[in-house]
Structure 1
Amino acid sequence: MTAQTPRQIHLNAFLMNAGHHDAAWRHRSTRPERITDLSYFQELARTAERGKLDSLFLADGLTLWGSARYNAVGGFEPLTLLSALSVATERIGLIATVSTTFNEPYHVARKFASLDHLSGGRAGWNIVTSGNVAEARNFGLDEHPGHALRYERAGEFLEVAKDLWDSWTDDAAVIDRAAGEYTREGAVRPVGHRGKHFRVHGPLNVQRSPQGHPLLVQAGSSEDGKEFAARYAEAVFTAQQTLSDGQAFYKDLKSRLATYGRTADELRILPGICPVIGSTKAEARALEAELTALQVPEYGLQQLSGMLGTDLTGLPLDGPLPDLPEERDINGNRSRFTLVAELARRESLTIRELIARLGGGRGHRVVVGTAEQIADQLQEWFTEGAADGFNIMPPYLPGGLEHFVDQVVPLLQERRLFRTEYTGRTLRDHYGLARPAGRPSVSV
C-alpha cells in the first residue's frame, strides 16, 4: 500500500452451506438440498466476485461438525471445491482451511501451489491446528494433542512449507530445447529439513506459483494463536463482540509484529460479522427472530457444550451456565471459549438465551439493521482502529450474501471505503501485500 493510496476496507465472504445461522437450513429462502451441488457454490462465488470482494473462504474440520440429524452438515473438502471454483471465477481470492495437526507439509505445500497455479495467483491458506478430540480420533489418537504442542508443530510445518515453495526459483524453467535443458542448473534444489516433527528432503514437485506463497491466514486468538499470527500470518480472521474488545485485539496483535521484524501494515485483521439485513430495523429484527424460532435446541446445546468444553446435557435451558473450567484447561479453541464464557457472564444469559445469541455467528458479532446501519458499523470499526476489513458471514444463503453485495457494498463504495473495480490479479494484490521474493535467480 503506497502513501498515495487511501486505506480501504477488505471484505471476505465466509461461505457456510445454507448459511451461518444454525437454523438457516430450515428457512424457506435457503436450499439445503444443494450443499453438495457445485453449481450452487459457483453461483455464490460469482455473487461475491460481482461485489468485488477480496476473497471467499471455506472453513473445514476433520470430523462431522454438529449433528447431521439437526443441521445441513457434510459438504465438500475445501481445496477440491476451490479448484473447481477457480475456473468459474476470474479475480476473487480463494481461501481454504487446512490443518497442520493431521496433515504433512509436503502434501499441503503441493496442493496450495497447485491451486495458486490453477487460479492465476488467488490461493490463500487458513492455517488451523484442529480443535477437538473428535478430529484426533479420526487419525488413530485417543486424545487431542496439547494446545502448545499443536502450535509448535504448526510453526515447524509452516517453515517446511515455505522452504518447499521456495525450492524452485521463479526463473527455474528455461525450456532450452536446443540444449536439452528444461530448468537452470541449481534452480531446483532440496530443502533438507530435519526437525523435531518433520523430516522432508524435497524439492517440491510443483514449480513456484504466481504468488510465490499462498496468502497466509490464521484464525486463533489465544496467546499461542496471537504469537503464531504475529510471526507468520498475513491476514487474521477473529471474533470480538464489542468495539473496545476489537480495538484491544487489533492493538495487541499489531504491536507483536515488530518482534519478528515485521511492520503493522504486513498484517490485515478481519473480525467476523454476521449481518442480518432488512429494509427497516424492524424488518431485520423480525428476520432474526424468525431464524431464532427455527433453532433446534438439541443442536444448539451440543454446539455450546463443545465451545465451552463442558457437557450441558440435561441442564435446564432457562437456567444459568454451570461453573466452567479455566481457559488454561481448555485443549480446544481457547479464544472462542473465553469469548462465549464472557458473553454469558457479562449479560447474565441463560443457556437458552446464549444458544439464541450464538445461532448466527457462533461467537462472532451479529449486526441487525438496515444496509446503511450495517455500513455504519463497518465504517466505525474500520476508522476507529478495530479492523482492516471484515469476514462477512451471511446468516442464510444465497439471499444474505446477495443483500450484502447489492445493498451494503454500494454504500461503502459511495463513501470511498471500498473498491469499485479490481485493480490487481492476485489475492495478494487485493490485500495490498507483497509477494515473497523467494531464492535469488541462479547465475548463467
Structure 2
Amino acid sequence: MSAYHLPDAEKLAAAHKTLHFFAYLVGAGHHIAAWRHPSANPAAAISFDHYRSLADIAEQGVLDAVFFADSLAVNEQSHHGILDRFDPVGLITALAPVTKNVGLIATASTSYDEPYNLARALLSADRISKGRAGWNIVTTRDLTNTTARNYGRPEHYEHSIRYERAEEFVDVVRGLWRSWEPDAFTYDKVSGQFFDPAKLHRINHRGNLFPQVDGPLNIAPSEQGEPLLVQAGSSEPGIALGARVANAIFTFQPDIPAAQQFRDKIRDKARASGRNPDEVYVLGGISPIVAETEAKAWDLIRELDDLVEEPKILSFLDDYFGHAIDFRQFTQETSVADSGILALPELRKDFWKTHERISGREKSVTLKQLYSHLTGVSFLPDFVGEPEKVADNLIRWFEAGAFDGYILINPLLPRDLSNFVEQVVPILQRRGYSPKSYSHPTLRGRLGLIDG
C-alpha cells in the first residue's frame, strides 16, 4: 500500500455518513473558572494521569480524537490551563503508548518552529501511536509581541507574512514526511540492503522564507502515512490554507445557516484547489452541557459563571486587545460599543466578520459575552439540556449540512466529557450516527483518508 495515494471516493463518502467528534482538552476545563469548581483538580493541566483518564473516556465513547491547544507566552492574565501546561507534541507522544484507538492531535506554530524539527517530532509521535497523530496548524496570535520576545524577536510577524510563512512551512513539512516511500526500508540481512535507495526522495526545497531545506527526514512514514492536518483559521488567508491542505477545520458558528455558508465556502475552495471536498471535515465548536432537565443544565452553567471574578474578565480583554483600552474603568456588563473596542484602529477590518457569532450585534454584546465568545466556551442553547435534546440537535445540524462533526469544548473536565460520552453517545449509536467501535486502527483511516 502506498500511503500517498489519493483517498478512495467511496471510503470518503461512507465516512461522511456518521458524526465525527474531537474532544478539546485543556486542564480542568475551558471555562475560566473551571479550576475553582469543587470537583476540579486545579493542577490538572500539568497532570499526565488526568489527561490519560480523559483519553480513556474519549475511547469509551469511540471519539475520533483528543485535541490539545497551545500558547507560547503567558502573563498574569493567562487562562489557568495555559499558565502551567505540557508541550502538546510531548504530551501526545507520551499518551501514544497508553492509549489504543483515539487520535492524538497537537497544536504547533508555523511562526515559532522550524519545519525539519516539527516534521520529525510529529512523525515520531505518529509512529509511536501507530498512525493516530495529528497536527493543528496555527500561525500564533501575538498582539503584544510577548511571544515574539520569548523567541528572541522584537516583534511578531505581520498577518500576511504569517500566512505566507505557514503556506511554505506546511509544504516543507509534508515534503519531508514523504522523504521515504512506505516500503523503502527493506532490512534485508542477506543482501545487506537496509533500504532501497530508489525509494528515498530528497525534497530540495528552495523558497522565499525557507531558502533551503534538502531532506530527507530521518524517519519513515507511519501506518497512516503522515499525521492528520487540522486548522482553524477564519480569516481569508486562514480559510485558503485550510481548504488547500487541512483534513479537519474547526469553526464557531451561531446557527445552521451561518454554518452551512461556512462549510460550503470551505468545500468550494477545496474543490478549486483540486481536492475532493469530502477530504475536508468541518467541525463545529460546541460546549454541550447535559443534565436530567434543561433547567438543571443551565444551573451547571451558572454554577461555573458564579465562580468568575469580574477582574479576570476585564484583565483578559485588556491583554487580548493589546492594552489599547483600560478595561478597569468598566464592568463586565458594559457594552462593547461603550467600551470603545469598535473604534480600535489596531483591529483588522475583518475582525467582526471573523467572529461571526457576534457580528452584526456588537452594540448589544456585553464585555462578559465577548469574553465568553473569545475564549471559545460556546453555550448554544441547542446543545444544553437533556441527552435526547442534545442528540436531536447534533443530528439536526449534521443532516442540514452545517457540520461534518463537532469539537467538544468542555467547560469542566472530566464532568462534561463524561456526561456526553455516557448519556449522549449511546443515543447517537442507537440511531446509527456514531460508531460502536473503531473502524480502522489509524486516524486517517477512520476518516476515509487513506486507501487501505
TM-score by length of 1: 0.91
Distance in structure 1 (CA, Å) of the matches to 2:157 and 2:440: 41
1:128–1:218: 8 Å Cα contact kept in structure 2?
Answer: yes
The within-5 A match list for 1:190-205 is: 190-198=202-210, 199-205=212-218
Equivalent-residue separation in structure 1 for 2:325 and 2:349 (angstroms): 14
CA 1:70–1:20 in 2, change beyond 3 Å: closer, same or farther? closer
Which residue matches 1:441? none
Task: Report the counterpart of residue 123 of structure 1 in structure 2.
Answer: 133
Deviates more, 1:302-311 or 1:117-126: 302-311
Counterpart code for 2:230: V
Query: Within 5 Å, which residues of 2 pair with 1:83-122?
Result: 83-122=93-132
CA distance in 1, matches of 2:166, 2:379: 25
**Partner Cα distance (1:335, 1:201) in 2:** 41
Asked if residue 142 in structure 1 is aligned to residue 142 in structure 2, the reply is no
Partners of 1:307 and 1:336 within 8 A in 2: no
**Which of 34, 59, 63 is 2:69 aligned to?**
59
1:122 maps to amino acid: R
The whole-number CA distance in structure 1 between the counterparts of 2:131 and 2:97 is: 12
| Match for residue 376 of structure 1 among 376, 392, 397 | 392
Instruction: State the shift of 1:359 in Å.
Output: 8.4
> Which of residues 267, 275, 278 is equivalent to 2:291?
278
**Counterparts of 1:68 and 1:6, CA distance in 2:** 37
CA contact (8 A) 1:173 1:182 kept: yes
User: How many Å apart are 1:338 and its aligned residue?
Assistant: 3.1
Which shifted more, 195-204 or 2-11? 2-11
Cα 1:359–1:252 change in 2 (3 A) is closer
Unaligned runs of 5+ in 2: 1-9
Q: Distance in 1 between matches of 2:25 and 2:205?
A: 36
| Aligned pair partner of 1:223 in 228, 236, 249 | 236
Give the secondary structure class of the aligned counterpart of 1:48: helix
CA shift for structure 1 position 306:
4.6
Q: 1:235 to 1:206 in 2, by over 3 A?
A: same
Alignment pair present for 1:361 and 2:376: yes
Q: 1:88: how far off?
A: 1.2
Q: Tell me how far 1:418 sits from its aligned partner.
A: 0.7
Could you give the per-residue CA deviations for residues 99-135 of structure 1, whole angstroms, max 9, x where no partner exists?
0001010001101111111000001000000011322
Cα distance in 2, alignment partners of residues 307 and 193 from structure 1? 37
Report the residue type matching 1:420 in the other structure.
K
The correspondence for 1:262, drawn from 266, 275, 278, is 275
Instruction: Indicate whether 1:311 and 2:321 are aligned.
Output: no
Q: CA deviation at 1:361?
A: 3.0
Aligned length: 434
* Structure 1, 316-325 or 190-199: larger mean CA deviation: 316-325
Whether contact under 8 Å (1:32, 1:72) holds in the other structure is no
Work out which of the residue numbers 149, 160, 179 in structure 1 matches 2:172: 160
Give the whole-Å Cα distance in 2 for the aligned partners of 1:221 and 1:41: 28
Q: Percent identity?
A: 38
Cα RMSD, aligned residues only: 2.5
Deviations 1:282-308 (A, max 9, x none): 101111111111012222223334555
Matched, 1:351 2:367: yes
1:323 maps to 340
- Residues 343, 416 of structure 1: CA spacing in aligned structure 2 closer, same or farther, 3 A cutoff? farther
Conservation of the 8 A alpha-carbon contact between 2:288 and 2:379: no
Distance change (3 Å), C-alpha of 1:202 and 1:71: closer
More deviation, 396-405/304-313:
304-313
Q: Work out whether 1:49 is the aligned partner of 2:59.
A: yes
Aligned: 1:177 with 2:189: yes
Note if 1:252 corresponds to 2:265: yes
Aligned-partner Cα distance in 2 for 1:188–1:430: 28
Q: Say which is worse superposed, 328-337 or 219-228, in terms of deviation.
A: 328-337
Give 2:359's aligned residue. 342
Q: Which amino acid is 1:342 matched to?
A: S
Q: Deviations over 1:8-63 (max 9, x none)?
A: 00001110100011111111111123332211111110010011000000001111
1:11 to 2, 16, 21: 21
CA change 1:190–1:241 in 2 (3 A) is same
User: Which residue in the other structure is 2:446 paired with?
Assistant: 430
> Residues of 2 paired with 1:215 and 1:53: CA distance?
15
Judged with a 3 Å threshold, the aligned counterparts in structure 2 of structure 1 residues 328 and 90 are, in CA distance, closer, same or farther, namely: farther
Q: Give the deviation of 1:339 after TM superposition.
A: 3.6
Residues 201-224 of structure 1, C-alpha deviations (whole Å, 9 max, x = no match) = 111011122211111100111111
Q: Matched residue of 1:200: which SS?
A: coil
Alignment CA distance shift 1:364-1:228 (3 Å): farther
The DSSP-based 3-state class of the residue aligned with 2:22 is strand
Instruction: Tell me if the contact between 2:31 and 2:304 (Cα under 8 Å) persists in the aligned partners.
Output: yes
Kept in 2: contact 1:121–1:209 (CA 8 A):
yes
- Superposition TM-score, scaled by structure 2 size: 0.89
Encode CA deviations 1:235-258: one digit per residue, 9 max, x unaligned.
Answer: 001111222211111111111112
Q: Measured at CA, do residues 75 and 91 of structure 1 come closer, stay the same or move farther in structure 2, by a change above 3 Å?
A: same
State how far apart, in whole Å, the 1-side matches of 2:62 and 2:350 are.
32
Which deviates more from structure 2 when the two are superposed, residues 332-341 or residues 256-265?
A: 332-341
Answer yes or no: is the 8 Å Cα contact 1:273–1:392 preserved in 2. yes
Contact 1:25 1:72 in 2 (8 A): no
**Cα-to-partner distance string for 1:68-94 (whole Å, 9 max, x where unaligned):** 697773111011111111111101100
Q: Flag as ranges the 4+ runs of structure 1 deviating above 6 A.
A: 69-72
8 Å Cα contact 2:251/2:283 also seen in 1: yes
Query: 2:203 aligned with 1:186, yes or no?
Result: no
CA–CA distance in 1 between the matches of 2:264 and 2:321? Answer: 27
Structure 1: gaps (5+ residues): 438-444
User: Match for residue 233 of structure 1?
Assistant: 246
Give 3-state SS (helix, strand or coil) of 1:87's partner.
Answer: helix
Conserved 8 A contact 1:344-1:354: no
